[in-house]
């Protein structure tokens, strides 16, 4: 979702900003823009429009010295993606220019109370912020005016603000939406996520909610100051940028998605390395303490992470015997079930920034429940605000469609359940090593899967079916296919199809059945017959143990509890190759964002 980058330093600002925006593209966006100060003319220049960063970079003129500017990638919330609604936005006089990630909930009230005389050009809530600052700047010094305006905003925002009268300070404010500051001798950079700092800064600071920031040049030195909500300056904690260019490049693959699918065996091995101590799986004691004497576990997540949550539920209930429930975060936030008192919460989020989950976490913290975030991003909001966190060590996931983070989430949930179990009756180290090998074996057959995709008519309302844990894989498989190929696909409990939805099965409708569990093999096979006899084009994914000779994709046997991390791989490849053959924008599917920072 929206990405922001600001830079003030010795490097050419437009290079740093445009390269930074390019690295933030994976978050998802539909328009982009930049405003910078041209030193030669002493004028500010703004370029913005609907479309890609590469157009912003190549279709405009960045000649001339420049060292100060802000840029934005926009994922439309208020108003259509077009030139006018693209950021940066200016106040009516043009003095204040801002970029914004987030949603201001009370922008209409602010307009009614303070800005009824202002002529707004865009439909955005952002333009209201620029004008609110200008309104206060009439009576107060600029810094105070900005802080007064920020104090009135309700909702989420990461903001960079420039005052054209002083091209020596970038102001920033933040609430709920992420914002980081990177510092080096020759400049200060502000950005929505770490990716933008790769190659620019080796150290960074996380900006906390309601913090006000000034990045400026004082006595020939670039520096920043951060102030808490009551205006007291504080020194934030410094972090090292641990990413490098290799990790965020495509590494010879045509798409990040394929690279990330192929990285999954090494993600499993990396997780094992990080969680094995003295030849056994180890979880830090303060995390284990969160679950001591708990009668129930609640798992909250969205999308793919929720599908990992379903697999986690089966692991927890099988290994720890603690009843576990999974909820859609956006539902739980405003429609809570009756909660058990002795409970712990697990929040699963690749990005650690999903706004629906954050809304839940605020309530969970208020209610006093212990919480654990399972995430890929150590410095993320959900990692910082939960009682504790565990990392999935998947490395940066750049394709919008989540693949390696999903298997990482499953693996960490399985390790946690295993360590918490009294008598787990599974050799988890051996089983996970086998999983990594089985993953490699199916990835090696990717060209065969491409052929299968081409010979089956996956072109309209497709179905994935499965039972038990395979049903959860079906949900994830369907999401993957629909989000990147735009083919209407449903994941269905195999036995449920006949209770209505089978009406949609007719000649050549593709049905892909997943069977990794011996105890439901016969049942799912009966369901396959039901759809076959109505003309469905059936493709079966099974394991050595459950296979029949005519099955299409046969996986190595792995432990039942880990099978979703394996069975999902052919479905990821099916989605990838189908989207590839259809010429879709695989890494940046339409309408989607990687980091969903609005509710």
List residues binding ligand F6R (CB under 6 A).
302-305, 349-351, 354, 357, 401-402, 479, 483, 596
> Which of 23, 313, 446, 594 is the catalytic position?
594
d(CA 101, CA 159): 7
Tell me which DSSP letter residue 497 carries. G
For the CB of residue 477, give the shortest distance to ligand F6R in the complex, in Å: 11
For the CB of residue 263, give the shortest distance to ligand F6R in the complex, in Å: 15
Instruction: Judge contact between 74 and 30, C-beta under 8 A.
Output: yes
Buried b (16+ CB within 10 A) or exposed e, 302-313: bbbbbbbbbbbb
Instruction: Judge contact between 442 and 566, C-beta under 8 A.
Output: yes
Residue nearest to ligand F6R (CB): 303
Q: Sign of torsion, CA 402 32 77 579?
A: negative
> Which of 2, 35, 360, 462 is the catalytic position?
2
Tell me which DSSP letter residue 104 carries. B
Query: Closer CB to ligand F6R, residue 187 or residue 303?
Result: 303
* Angle made by CA atoms 38, 40, 44, in degrees to the nearest 5: 25
Query: Closer CB to ligand F6R, residue 361 or residue 596?
Result: 596
Query: Closer CB to ligand F6R, residue 38 or residue 350?
Result: 350
d(CA 371, CA 393): 20
Tell me which DSSP letter residue 235 carries. P
d(CA 435, CA 485): 28
DSSP-assigned beta bridge partners for residue 462: 489
For the CB of residue 487, give the shortest distance to ligand F6R in the complex, in Å: 15
**Token duo for residue 564:** 């979703």
d(CA 200, CA 551): 51
Buried b (16+ CB within 10 A) or exposed e, 566-599: bbbbbbbbbbbbbbbeeebebbbbeebbbbbbbb
For the CB of residue 533, give the shortest distance to ligand F6R in the complex, in Å: 34
For the CB of residue 32, give the shortest distance to ligand F6R in the complex, in Å: 21
259 noted as active-site residue: no
For the CB of residue 333, give the shortest distance to ligand F6R in the complex, in Å: 13
For the CB of residue 232, give the shortest distance to ligand F6R in the complex, in Å: 33
Q: Is 253 helix (H, G, I), strand (E, B) or coil?
A: coil
Instruction: Judge contact between 157 and 176, C-beta under 8 A.
Output: yes
Alpha helices in 24-162 (DSSP H): 53-58, 107-114, 126-137, 142-152
For the CB of residue 501, give the shortest distance to ligand F6R in the complex, in Å: 22
Instruction: Judge contact between 477 and 514, C-beta under 8 A.
Output: yes
Long-range contacts of 243-246 (CB under 8 A, 24+ apart): 243/194, 243/195, 243/197, 243/198, 243/396, 244/198, 245/198, 245/199
For the CB of residue 306, give the shortest distance to ligand F6R in the complex, in Å: 7
Query: Closer CB to ligand F6R, residue 137 or residue 400?
Result: 400
Query: Closer CB to ligand F6R, residue 554 or residue 598?
Result: 598
Query: Closer CB to ligand F6R, residue 399 or residue 540?
Result: 399
Query: Closer CB to ligand F6R, residue 90 or residue 597?
Result: 597
Query: Closer CB to ligand F6R, residue 351 or residue 571?
Result: 351
446 noted as active-site residue: no
Q: Is 598 helix (H, G, I), strand (E, B) or coil?
A: coil
Query: Closer CB to ligand F6R, residue 128 or residue 348?
Result: 348
DSSP-assigned beta bridge partners for residue 163: 96
Active site residues: 2, 594
């Amino acid at each position: 979702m929206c990405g922001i980058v600001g830079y003030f330093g010795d490097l050419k600002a437009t290079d740093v900003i445009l390269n930074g925006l390019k690295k933030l593209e994976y978050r998802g966006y539909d328009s982009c823009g930049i405003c910078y100060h041209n030193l030669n003319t002493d004028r500010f220049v703004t370029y913005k429009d609907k479309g890609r960063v590469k157009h912003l970079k190549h279709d405009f003129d960045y000649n001339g010295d420049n060292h100060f500017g802000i840029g934005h990638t926009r994922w439309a919330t208020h108003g259509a993606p077009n030139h006018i609604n693209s950021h940066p936005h200016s106040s009516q006089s043009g003095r204040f220019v801002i970029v914004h990630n987030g949603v201001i909930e009370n922008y209409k009230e602010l307009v009614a109370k303070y800005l009824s005389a202002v002529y707004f050009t865009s439909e955005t809530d952002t333009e209201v912020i620029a004008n609110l600052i200008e309104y206060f700047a009439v009576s107060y010094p600029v810094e105070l005016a900005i802080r007064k305006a920020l104090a009135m905003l309700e909702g989420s925002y990461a903001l960079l603000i420039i005052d054209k009268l002083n091209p020596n300070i970038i102001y920033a404010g933040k609430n709920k939406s992420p914002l980081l500051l990177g510092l080096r001798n020759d400049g200060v950079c502000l950005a929505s996520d770490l990716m933008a700092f790769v190659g620019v800064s080796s150290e960074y600071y996380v900006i906390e909610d309601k913090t006000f920031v000034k990045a400026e040049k004082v006595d020939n030195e670039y520096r920043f100051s951060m102030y808490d909500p009551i205006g007291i300056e504080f020194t934030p904690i410094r972090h090292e940028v641990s990413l490098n260019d290799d990790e965020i490049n495509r590494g010879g693959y045509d798409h990040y998605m394929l690279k990330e699918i192929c990285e999954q065996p090494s993600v499993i091995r990396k997780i094992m390395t990080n969680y094995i101590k003295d030849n056994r799986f180890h979880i830090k004691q303060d995390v284990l303490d969160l679950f001591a004497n708990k009668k129930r576990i609640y798992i909250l997540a969205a999308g793919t992470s929720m599908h990992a949550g379903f697999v986690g539920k089966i692991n927890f209930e099988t290994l720890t015997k603690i009843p576990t429930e999974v909820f859609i975060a956006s539902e739980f936030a405003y429609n809570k079930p009756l909660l058990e008192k002795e409970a712990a919460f697990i929040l699963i989020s690749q990005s650690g920034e999903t706004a629906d989950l954050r809304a839940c976490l605020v309530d969970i913290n208020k209610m006093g429940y212990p919480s654990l975030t399972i995430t890929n991003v150590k410095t993320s909001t959900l990692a910082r605000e939960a009682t504790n966190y565990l990392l999935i060590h998947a490395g940066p996931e750049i394709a919008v469609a989540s693949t390696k983070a999903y298997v990482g989430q499953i693996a960490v949930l399985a390790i946690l359940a295993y360590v918490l179990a009294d008598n787990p009756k599974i050799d988890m180290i051996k089983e996970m090593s086998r999983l990594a090998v089985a993953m490699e074996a199916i990835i090696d057959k990717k060209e065969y899967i491409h052929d299968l995709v081409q010979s089956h008519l996956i072109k309209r309302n497709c179905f994935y079916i499965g039972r038990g844990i395979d049903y959860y894989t079906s949900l994830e498989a369907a999401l993957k296919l629909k989000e990147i190929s735009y083919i209407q696909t449903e994941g269905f409990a195999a036995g449920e199809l006949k209770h209505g939805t089978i009406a949609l099965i007719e000649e050549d409708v593709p049905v892909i059945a997943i069977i990794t569990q011996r105890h439901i093999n016969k049942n799912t096979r009966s369901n396959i017959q039901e759809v076959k006899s109505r003309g469905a084009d059936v493709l079966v994914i099974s394991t050595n143990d459950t296979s029949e000779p005519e099955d299409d994709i046969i996986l190595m046997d792995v432990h039942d509890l880990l099978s979703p991390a394996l069975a999902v791989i052919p479905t990821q490849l099916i989605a990838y190759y189908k989207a590839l053959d259809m010429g879709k924008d695989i890494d940046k599917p339409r309408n989607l964002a990687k980091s969903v920072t609005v509710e």
